[in-house]
Amino acid sequence: MIFDQSDWRVGASCRDEDPDGLFVRGAEQRRAKMVCLNCPVRTECLAEALDNRIEFGVWGGMTERERRALLRRRPDVGSWRELLDAARRTYQTDIAEFAADYAVNL
C-alpha cells in the first residue's frame, strides 16, 4: 500500500485509537509502540515526525527520546522521508532477488 504525504494517516493503525494513548510517558510508551508494530504506514509516520521535529508522542514506533537520539546520530539527513523510502525500495528489491534466487535453487 503506497500513500502520498497528504493521506498516509488514513491507513494508520492508530487512527481509531485514543490519541492520548500515544502521548504518554514511561512504561506506557511500550504499549503505545505496540500499536505501531504492524502498521502499514509506520515509515511515513516516522518520517513525518523526524522531518518536522515533532517532540512529543510515539510516532512510527519511536518515542520522542528515541527520535531525538536518532536525529543527533544523523544530523546529515535532509529528508527522512526520502531516506526511508529509498531504504524500503532497496529492501523490497533485495527480498525479490532473494526469492527469485531461492526459487531457481529449489
The confidence band for 106, taking pLDDT boundaries of 50, 70 and 90, is low
Instruction: Indicate the average pLDDT of the chain.
Output: 89
Q: Measured between alpha carbons, how far is 88 from 85 in angstroms, rounded to an integer?
A: 5
Which region, left, alpha or beta, applies to residue 52 given φ > 0 means left and ψ of -120 to 50 means alpha? alpha
The whole model's pTM is what? 0.81
* 3-class DSSP string for 83-102: HHHHHHHHHHHHHHHHHHHH
The confidence band for 100, taking pLDDT boundaries of 50, 70 and 90, is confident
Whether 1 shows a pLDDT value over 80: the answer reads no
Q: What is the pLDDT of residue 53?
A: 96
Q: Hey, what long-range contacts does 22-27 have (CB within 8 A, 24 or more apart)? A: 22/57, 22/58, 22/59, 23/56, 23/57, 23/58, 24/58
- Write out the three cell numbers for 28: 506506557
Q: What is the pLDDT of residue 71?
A: 97
Q: Which residues contact 64 (CB under 8 A, 6 or more apart)?
A: 54, 55, 56, 57
The confidence band for 97, taking pLDDT boundaries of 50, 70 and 90, is confident
Q: Measured between alpha carbons, how far is 34 from 40 in angstroms, rounded to an integer?
A: 13
Q: What is the pLDDT of residue 96?
A: 84
pLDDT digits (tens, 9 = 90+) for 6-35: 688 899 999 988 989 999 998 899 999 999
